Structure 1
Amino acid sequence: MSADVLERSDVSPPSNDLTRRRSWLPILWTLPPVLVVLGIAGYPILRVLTESTRTPTGRGTEVWFSVLGSEAFRDALWRTVSIAVCATAGCLVLGTFLAIVLAFVPFPGSGVVGRLIDTILTLPSFLITLAFTFLYGTAGAVNALIAELTGATTPVIDFLTTPLGVILAEITYFTPFVVRPVLAAFAQLPREQLDVAASLGASPWRVLRQVVLPEAWPALAAGGSLVLLLTLNEFGIVLFTGAKGVITLPALIYTRGIVTFDLPGAAVLASVQVLLSLSLYLVYRFVFARFIARPKEQ
């Protein structure tokens, strides 16, 4: 028997115990972070669901039927969804326009403008509302300028405490969440395609419609899904505008839980809010995964 055969015969396969131990190692490494996530995110959700069933009569379904069947809930749900959809549409339009300008219309200071847009992402949302108040409030700079020019004694611009004011503030704050992914999509677009399309006589609008925008659809879908998720849960802008007639689900949860101390009712509303958020988050992750996978397929 040769030496090679003897060496191979001396090497024994790993034992079953060692194999089982190695298969358990990934589970042991992932168990601590999973437990931390469950403790931070899972326990509060479970506590909210439990609180929504605690009533003096012991019938938790009564609270659910009472809250979900109330006119206040229907109005708040409609107001939340309508504001979120309008703000998302505005962010998509404005974000696409800004991304096109920054990517394809070179001008002095474009880098500074891009950094300023990124800076908005680091600011809390209520600062945008305060800026709107200083500019467009009844005693803001714009109304003061109009009064000085025209002699008007009453504020000409008074939209800040209306749904329109909330929508405009949300568009201002959340538009960068659309600009960034769209700019990333434009950066992956080969310049040769644009040059070939232009050399074949295509107009700039046709190039934009048939070459540029198709590449941006996944990024627009991902950014729009994220903005819709964030606007559905936005509370700071609604609170700081002082729009008493604009009652969204987060504002109604705050009123029920903090002002009137109706914890079971607030828990029911919070459960609905969590369900909406999780559903939209799954949609966002699906769209974002498609956006990431598309360049690899190409």
Structure 2
Amino acid sequence: MTALLETPSAPATPERPERRGSLRAVAWTLPPVLVVLLIAAYPICRVLWESTTTKDGGRGIGTWTGVLAESSFRNALWRTVSIAVCSTIGCLILGTFLAIVLAFVPFPGSQLVGRLIDTVLTLPSFLVTLAFTFLYGTAGAVNALIGELTGSSEPALNFLSTPWGIILAEITFFTPFVVRPLLAGFAQLSREQLDVAASLGASPWRVLRSVVMPEAWPALAAGGSLVLLLTLNEFGIVLFTGAKGVITLPALIYTRGIVTFDLPGAAVLASVQVLLSLSLYLGYRLLFARLTGTRGES
């Protein structure tokens, strides 16, 4: 009777699977985090630390104040932003036109054009600049043809060494980065939605403006933000055009760090370049979140 009234002993609690799963997740997450810290965070911190080196070898903000006060920095910053913005606008216009034609205007050879656009994505940027030099340079094929037709020895086209030459080269190279996201966005449109809009008497322009483009805004924002980020940091096209009077921030960083060996000054310029890129990325994330949120609500 006494044995029946005794409380049975509680069984031993096994190890919680949640804790074991959390430890396993930490073990899988730690190596990628360490790799990111090694290849991304450490160089940025190293550049920031180098930018605080003063002329006498100490630490301070003297290098920052000196570099930011120079007119060459302000001119390079303005030139970098203006070229990036103009190139991005040109890529958005040309890329949207090409994507609409490839997606909704079938023609013989459209698949070949799409393959050529994909091929441009794999090429280095300086090849486009070299092609521009062979075609539109002062001794290029176009100037040679115009000289034969007009009998003039002076080159009719001489824009490669100007900001417009850089902008045209960047538009040519970076337009596929707008075309591909737009084609992916257009592929998600239902054909029935377009047929219904057309059957209700809507013109092709109205269907494009009211049906197609609202669905493509996230893809257009993604492509435009990517192009703006790439053109903001582009150096190869600026270098190979030979535009000595067009100094952008990447070109100024190269001059400071490699030519004059002013590493603290180059580190300040590189820090500004990193801040511009991070600000652009954060702005893109906010814009993309707003666009996707508005699309989900509608």
TM-score, reference length from structure 1: 0.91
Which residue is 2:143 aligned to? Answer: 143
The answer on whether the counterparts of 2:163 and 2:246 sit within 8 Å (CA) in structure 1 is: yes
Q: Give the structure 2 partner of residue 41 of structure 1.
A: 40
1:43 Cα deviation after fit: 1.1
**How far apart are 1:55 and its partner, in Å?**
1.9
1:281 Cα shift? Answer: 2.0
Shift of 1:60: 2.5
Give the distance between the partners of 1:296 and 1:215, measured in 2 at CA: 11
Instruction: Check conservation: 2:194, 2:207, Cα contact below 8 A.
Output: yes
Residue 87 of structure 1 deviates from its aligned partner by: 0.2
Q: CA deviation at 1:206?
A: 1.2
Amino acid at match of 1:112: L
Contact 2:186 2:216 in 1 (8 A): yes
Equivalence map 1:71-110=2 (5 Å): 71-110=71-110
Call closer, same or farther: CA 1:11–1:284 in 2, change over 3 Å: farther
Post-superposition offset of 1:288? 5.1
Structure 1 residue 14 displacement after superposition = 3.0
Question: CA 1:12/1:201 → structure 2, altered by over 3 Å: closer, same or farther?
Answer: farther
State the shift of 1:10 in Å: 9.8
> 1:196: Cα distance to partner?
1.3
Contact in 2 for aligned 1:222/1:291 (Cα 8 Å): no
The residue identity in structure 2 corresponding to 1:106 is P
Unaligned runs of 5+ in 2: 1-8
Q: How does 1:6-21 map to 2 (within 5 A)?
A: 13-15=13-15, 19-21=18-20
Could you report, residue by residue, the CA deviation over 1:15-70 in whole angstroms, capped at 9, with x for unpaired residues?
35x64343222111111111111111111111101111112332421110010111
Cα distance in structure 2, aligned partners of 1:245 and 1:144 = 25
Work out the CA distance in 2 between the residues paired with 1:62 and 1:139: 47
Q: Which position in structure 2 is the counterpart of 1:52?
A: 51
**Structure 1 pair 115/12, CA: closer, same or farther in 2 (3 Å)?**
farther
Q: Which amino acid aligns with 1:157?
A: L
SS at match of 2:158: coil
Q: Secondary structure at the match of 2:122?
A: coil
**Paired residue total:** 289
Q: Measured at CA, do residues 31 and 136 of structure 1 come closer, stay the same or move farther in structure 2, by a change above 3 Å?
A: same
1:16-27 equivalent positions in 2, closer than 5 A: 19-27=18-26
Q: Which amino acid aligns with 1:167?
A: I
C-alpha distance in 2 between matches for 1:181 and 1:287: 16
Preserved CA contact (<8 Å) 1:219 1:291: no
Map Cα deviations across residues 174-207 of structure 1 (whole Å, 9 max, x no partner).
0001001111111111111211111111111111
Q: Is the CA contact 1:51–1:264 (under 8 Å) kept in the aligned structure 2?
A: yes
**Percent identity between the aligned chains?**
78
**Equivalent position of 1:216 in the other structure:** 216
Partner amino acid, structure 1, of 2:186:
F
For 1:90 and 1:34, the matched residues in 2 are separated by: 38
| Mean CA deviation greater in 39-48 or 286-295 | 286-295
Q: Secondary structure at the match of 1:60?
A: coil
CA distance in 2, matches of 1:223, 1:204: 24
* CA–CA distance in structure 2, aligned partners of residues 30 and 183 of structure 1: 34
CA contact (8 A) 1:52 1:264 kept: yes
After TM superposition, the structure 1 stretch with the greater mean CA deviation from structure 2, 193-202 or 135-144, is: 193-202
Counterparts of 1:151-230 in structure 2 under 5 Å? Answer: 151-230=151-230
Q: SS state of the match for residue 121, structure 1? A: helix
Q: Determine the C-alpha separation between the residues in 1 that align with 2:181 and 2:239.
A: 29
Query: 54-63 or 169-178, which moves further after superposition?
Result: 54-63
Mapped partners of 1:137, 1:60: distance in 2: 46
Q: Which amino acid aligns with 1:150?
A: T
Find the aligned partners of 1:295 and 1:107 in 2 and give their Cα distance.
32
One-letter amino acid matched to 1:88: T
| Aligned residue number for residue 130 of structure 1 | 130
| Counterpart contact for 1:218–1:290, Cα < 8 Å | no
